Amino acid sequence: MLRLDRLVNVLGGYGARLCCAPASRAVELRSVAVHDPTDPHPATGDVFLSVGVDSAADAVRLARAARAAAVLVRGRPPLDEEALAGARDAGIAVLLVEPEVSWSQLAGVVYGLVVEGRQTDAGRGPTDLFALADALAAEVGSAVTIEDQMSRVLAYSGSQQAADPARLETILGRRVPEAMRRLFERGGVFAHLTTSDEPLFVEPSPEHGLRGRMVVAVRAGRELLGSIWVECERPLPEERRVVLVDGARAVALHLLRSRVGADLERQVESDLVIRLLEGTAEAPSLVSRLGLPRGRFRVIALQAHVAEERHAAILLAFERATTGFGWSRPGRSALFGNTLYTVLPCGGDPGPARDWLASIVNVLPRRVTVFAGVGGAADLGQLPASRQEADESLALRAARPGGDLAVVYDESWDGILLQRLRAAASAGRVPARGPVAELTRHDAEHGTRYIATLRAWLEEQGDPVAAGSRLGVHPNTVRYRLRRMGEITSLQLELPEKRLAMIIALAAGQDERS
């Protein structure tokens, strides 16, 4: 069935904004009504399309007469407060759609959603994946689970009463346990699924609570979408293997069909977010279409990988970040290359960004490694700068072994500045001549430690005692080395601008051999 949450999620991709909502997001929608001023009998339906209605107040009044749970109104915000109050009293959800979206488009989408969401007499929709699992289990005579390419359970048949412990743990945890995955990997099961469409029998393993399985790949062309698992103590006979292979084709069609709908929503969102991150004068309109509140934002850059599944991991992270288009999540995301970017409402406190990252990591498999960078708080016009800060923070985090999940620009701007300086030095933008360069060459040729001494003296603000302590030498040794350096090159340490320039040159990495 179609629920209100799904309607809001999908229409969010077409520029609809939820302006008023009932207490429950799980309101069921089974019918559509369209306003027809020539019909003396008021139309009734769960979703009311206020075609040709001039005001929001009239649209809400007609929706009440139609006993609707949701009404679509075309126009621009803000809506009349009286109309919203009337909708709240009646428990009607009001979705405001931009005038650029035609009624024909909206009607096509809404009718498609409601028709596809209807239940059959058996209580499930005609394309429901659980219904496919039930039908397949009846034909092969044993319990069935359908899993995706990351071993997460998508659906299972109702005949699981006698399931073995491994199957019960898989269903309860909604994914194959790690110990079981390792067993299948060692047995070559996943390698077989990657390359073959033939069913494979997996031998019983009593120590793992496994009675035995027949598994077949679910594939679209060369792409592995998932797999079907049948619990059995011995290989299925040939006629049931044929049924299993046919079932895999049906499941593949279902997964592709579901993916098309989800991918369209994600593509709309991704395109709008990328435009925001690149900078545009239309930023206020894009934020409105994305359903984001006005205020300040942070850009989060995230990369995820598994040693042997780098692309699958970032795609999975993108799927998780974009689940629930509309009102169900705080940020909006785009996948660009191998990086997931999220625009998150977030002011001076980066805490919400850390919470969002933790929520993503918690729903990813444990074997996925995640690095992230969080840009500084930004107004709409500053989002491209926050994106650059997020990229640089991500690069800084990736270069650090261990540590926190994310680097936040506010807390690590100094490391990012040094990173920029080193990049400038490697690009030849730092002078190749000067005191630091000359002393570096002298150290290399004569084995002296002038660069280390200069660094210690500068960082200790000219205190030879503290510098000597750092170097493990007497303060007089520091003073002697400084005099010798002055004979080799013009230091002019009494000038603040010279000291600052040498600190920058040292930070840029010209002293790597010291």
Q: Is 224 part of any domain? A: yes
Does residue 423 belong to any structural domain of this protein? no
How do residues 252-270 score in pLDDT, each as one tens digit?
A: 877 766 665 566 677 788 8
CATH number of the CATH domain containing 73 = 3.40.1390.20
419 is a domain residue = no
Bridge-based pairing state of the strands 297-305 and 369-374: antiparallel
What is the CATH number for 487? Answer: 1.10.10.2840
CA distance 10 to 8: 6
Instruction: Confirm whether 216 is domain-assigned.
Output: yes
How far apart are the C-alpha atoms of 411 and 457, rounded to whole Å?
26
Domain boundary among 362, 383, 413: 413
Quote the pTM value: 0.48
Let me know if residue 272 belongs to a domain.
no
Going by C-alpha positions, the residue among 31, 20, 27 that lies closest to residue 3 is: 27
pLDDT tens-digit map of 378-396:
999 999 999 999 998 998 8
Domain, as residue range, for 216: 129-258
Mean pLDDT by runs of 10 across the 514 residues of the chain is 81 80 79 80 81 89 90 84 88 87 77 57 50 86 88 82 80 82 91 92 90 90 86 91 87 72 73 91 88 91 75 77 67 88 92 92 82 93 93 86 83 78 64 79 91 91 91 93 90 84 74 40
Say if CB 342 and CB 300 are below 8 A apart. yes
Predicted local distance difference test score (pLDDT) of residue 293: 86
Judge if 336 and 253 occupy the same domain.
Answer: no
Flag whether 420 is in a domain. no
Q: Cα–Cα distance between 362 and 305 in angstroms, integer? A: 15
Both 295 and 232 in one domain: the answer is no
Q: 347 and 395: one domain? A: yes
Q: What phi and psi, each to the nearest 5 degrees, are found at residue 66? A: -85, 0
- Where does a domain end: 258, 293, 319? 258
Place of tokens 């040729």: 445
Instruction: Give the domain-ending residue among 87, 117, 147.
Output: 117
Q: Is residue 422 part of a domain?
A: no
Same domain, 294 and 403: yes
Whether residues 302 and 337 fall in one domain: yes
In a domain, 271, yes or no: no
Number of domains in the chain: 4
